[in-house]
Amino acid sequence: MKTAITINGASGRMGRALVQACVENDTTQLAAALVRSGSEFEGLDAGTVAGIAPANVSMQSDRNQLPSGVNVWIDFTLPEGLMDALNYCVAKNIPMVIGTTGLSEEQKQAITKAGNTIPIVFAPNMSVGVNLCLSVLQTAAKTLGEDYDIEIVEAHHKNKVDAPSGTALRMGEVIAESIGVDLDEKAEYTRHGNIGARKSGAIGFQTIRAGDIVGEHTVIFAGIGERVEIAHRATSRLTFARGAVRAATWLAGQSAGVYDMQDVLGLS
C-alpha cells in the first residue's frame, strides 16, 4: 500500500521538487498539494506546476477539504506557517516530516511537545549525502578534536532568509557534541575589522548568499601542515525532496516521537 502524502507549500521552489519526488516514487501517492489562500496556482494541477506530467491533484488552500486517509504531511514552509500546520496535524493525528529552518527555540520546543502525540521527522537537511556527512563529522571531530581550527562555510541562493543555514548549525552542533563543548560558547558568526588572532577552540561560521546556489557546505579542520575538508554540494532540490519522501515512507509506521534523518537512514 502506498504512503499518501500531503505537501504544504506545494507551489514554492521546494514544494515543486517535493511534488515531483512524491509522484516519481513508486511507494508514495500525492494525496494533496496545499497553497496559500488566493495563490495564483490554486486550482492548477500540481504536476503541471512542478513541471512534470499532470498528477491529477489540484492545488488547494482549504485543508479541511483534504482527502481522508492521509498518511504523512510534508512541510518545508516558513516558521509561522509551520506552527499553524503543526497544530492542525496534532489535532488530526497526522505524522509530519518537517524541513523548515530558521525556527526559534520556542518553535523547536513546540515540535518536541507535538512529538508526544504524533511521529515527526525533523531535520534541517533531508539529503542522504548530508546526513552521511554528519556521521563522518562525528568521527573527524573526535579524532582531530580541538587541536585543529574548525570552520563551517555554507552557500545558498540569494533568497534564503536565515543564516547560517540550519544544516550548517547542525554540523556545528554535531562537532561540538563530539568534542564535548557548548556550541553557543564556541561559535563565531561574524568577523570584521581588527579582530586579533583566532580564538582557541572557536567554531567559525561563514555564510554566502548569491545567485541560485542550491546548497553547499564545507567543514574545514585546519591543523599545522595539513587541512581536512568534508564537503557536500547539492545541485538540485530533488536531493532534499527525495530524502523527505524517503522519510515519509519510513515515518508512516512509527510511533509518536521526534526523529531525524539519522534514524531514517539507520545511522544513529
Cα 52 to the center of its chain, rounded Å = 23
Residues annotated as part of the active site: 156, 160
pLDDT digits (tens, 9 = 90+) for 175-191: 999 999 999 999 999 89
Terminal Cα distance for the chain, rounded: 27
pLDDT of residue 67: 85
Return d(Cα 256, Cα 123) in angstroms, integer.
Answer: 16
Residue 193 in grid coordinates: 575589522
Tell me the pLDDT tens digit for each residue of 25-44.
Answer: 999 999 999 999 999 999 99
Q: Cis omega (within 30 of 0) on the bond before 164?
A: yes
Q: For 37, list phi and psi in degrees, rounded to 5.
A: -60, 135
* pLDDT for 150 beyond 80: yes
pTM: 0.85
CA R_g for the chain:
19
Q: pLDDT tens for residues 49-93?
A: 999 999 999 999 999 888 887 789 999 999 999 999 999 999 999
Summarize pLDDT for 121-134 with one digit per residue, the tens. 999 889 999 999 99
Q: How many helices (H) and strands (E) does the chain have?
A: 9, 12
Beta-carbon-side half-sphere exposure of residue 216 (alpha carbons within 13 Å): 16
With 0-12 / 13-18 / 19 or more C-beta atoms within 10 angstroms meaning exposed / middle / buried, residue 52 is: middle
Contact, 98 vs 121, CB < 8 A?
A: yes
Quick check: 146 pLDDT over 90? no
The single residue listed with the C-alpha cell 497544530 is: 87
35 within 8 A of 11, measured Cβ to Cβ: yes
Instruction: Write down all domains in the chain, each with its CATH number in brackets.
Output: 3-122+237-265 (3.40.50.720), 128-234 (3.30.360.10)
Residue 65 is predicted with a pLDDT of 86
* 42: number of Cβ within 10 Å: 16
pLDDT tens, 223-239?
Answer: 999 999 999 999 999 99
